[in-house]
Amino acid sequence: MDALPLAAAGSRAGLEIAPEGGDTATPRNLENRLALIGALLPPLAGLRVLDAGCGGGEYVRALVARGADAIGIECVDEKLACAQRLPAEVARRIRRGDVQATGLAPGGTDAVLLNEVLEHVPDDAAALLEAHRVLRPGGHLLVLSPNRLHPFETHGVFALRSGRRLSHATPFVPWVPLALGRRMFRYWARNYWPRELRALVRCAGFRIERTGFLWPTFENISGRQPRWMRPLLPLLRGASAIAERAPCLRAFGASQWILASRP
How far is the C-alpha of 114 from the C-alpha of 102, rounded, in Å?
13
Check residue 15 and give its pLDDT: 65
Average pLDDT estimate for 47-72? 98
- Report if residue 135 sits inside a domain: yes
Residue 20 has pLDDT above 90, yes or no: no
Q: What is the pLDDT of residues 247-258, one digit of tens each?
A: 999 999 999 999
Position 4 confidence tier, pLDDT thresholds 50, 70, 90: very low
pLDDT-based confidence at residue 10 (cuts at 50, 70, 90)? very low
| pTM of this structure | 0.92
With 60 as the cut, is the pLDDT of residue 3 above it? no
Residue 231 lies in a domain: yes
Burial of 236 (0-12, 13-18, 19+ CB in 10 A): middle
**pLDDT-above-90 percentage for the chain:** 85
| pLDDT surpasses 60 at 8 | no
pLDDT band at residue 5 using 50, 70 and 90 as cut-offs: very low
**pLDDT (average), residues 119-137:** 97
Residue 255: per-residue pLDDT: 98
Which residues on neighbouring strands pair with residue 142, listed in sequence order? 113, 259
Strands, sheet with 207-214, edge to edge from the N-terminal-most edge strand: 94-96, 69-74, 48-52, 109-115, 135-146, 255-261, 207-214
What pLDDT is recorded for position 31?
97
Give yes or no for residue 190 having a pLDDT over 90. yes
Asked, for residue 1, whether it belongs to a domain, the answer is: no
- Number of domains comprising the chain: 1
Is 256 within a domain?
yes
pLDDT of residue 1: 25
Mean pLDDT lowest among 13-22, 136-145, 169-178, 223-232: 13-22
User: 123 exposed, middle or buried (CB, 10 Å; 0-12, 13-18, 19+)?
Assistant: middle
Band the pLDDT of 204: cuts 50, 70, 90.
very high
Confidence class of residue 87 from pLDDT cuts 50, 70 and 90? very high
Determine whether 129 is exposed, middle or buried from the number of CB atoms within 10 Å of its CB (0-12, 13-18, 19+): middle
Q: Is 234 contained in some domain?
A: yes
Residue 105 confidence class, pLDDT cut points 50, 70, 90:
very high
pLDDT of residue 23: 85
Q: Which domain holds residue 93?
A: 27-261
Mean pLDDT to the nearest integer, 159-184: 93
9 falls within a domain: no
Q: Which ranges of the chain would DSSP assign to H, the alpha helix? A: 27-40, 58-65, 77-83, 88-91, 124-134, 178-181, 194-203, 233-245
Decide if 194 is inside a domain: yes
Q: What is the CATH number of the domain that holds 88?
A: 3.40.50.150
12 in any annotated domain: no
